[in-house]
Amino acid sequence: MPTPVEVGSIVGKTFRITWSDGHRSTCSWKALRLACPCAHCRGEWADGRTVDPSSIREDVHPMRIERVGAYALQPTWWDGHNTGLYTFHMLRFELCECAECTAARSARAAR
């Protein structure tokens, strides 16, 4: 499993991670916030959605991002929400929006 060697600035337009295998991930802050895996966000919607997209501001971004052990990142969002632990696996394989991963994901979905 690759690990992040560099995590982009929280004031950047999107979230960026450079991985130990050289892959560069990018993900919009809003998509990242919507994917919050914490029990609170997951439990809000019975149909499996996480967070109501209309409740998240377009320009949402974190105040800081901390690394949790060797497996996750924990952002503290503008609104103080910080209970979501984003595992490296999730960031790399579910949330990465780079051209390569987007193409790979839609190829999987088309099958």
Size of the site for Zn ion (CB under 5 A): 8
Lay out the site mask for Zn ion across 35-54 (x = CB under 5 A, - = otherwise): -x-x--x-------------
Is residue 96 close enough to count as binding Zn ion by CB under 5 A? yes
- Cα–Cα nearest to 10, from 73, 94, 102, 96: 73
Report if residue 95 touches Zn ion, rule: CB under 5 A.
Answer: no
Asked if residues 28 and 14 have their Cβ atoms less than 8 Å apart, the reply is yes
Query: Toward Zn ion, which CB reaches closer, 10 or 85?
Result: 85
Measured from the CB atom, the residue of 10 and 35 that comes closer to Zn ion is: 35
Long-range contacts formed by 12-19: CB under 8 A, 24+ apart: 14/97, 17/91, 17/92, 19/92
Which stretches of the chain bind Zn ion, using CB under 5 A? Answer: 25, 36, 38, 41, 84, 96, 98, 101
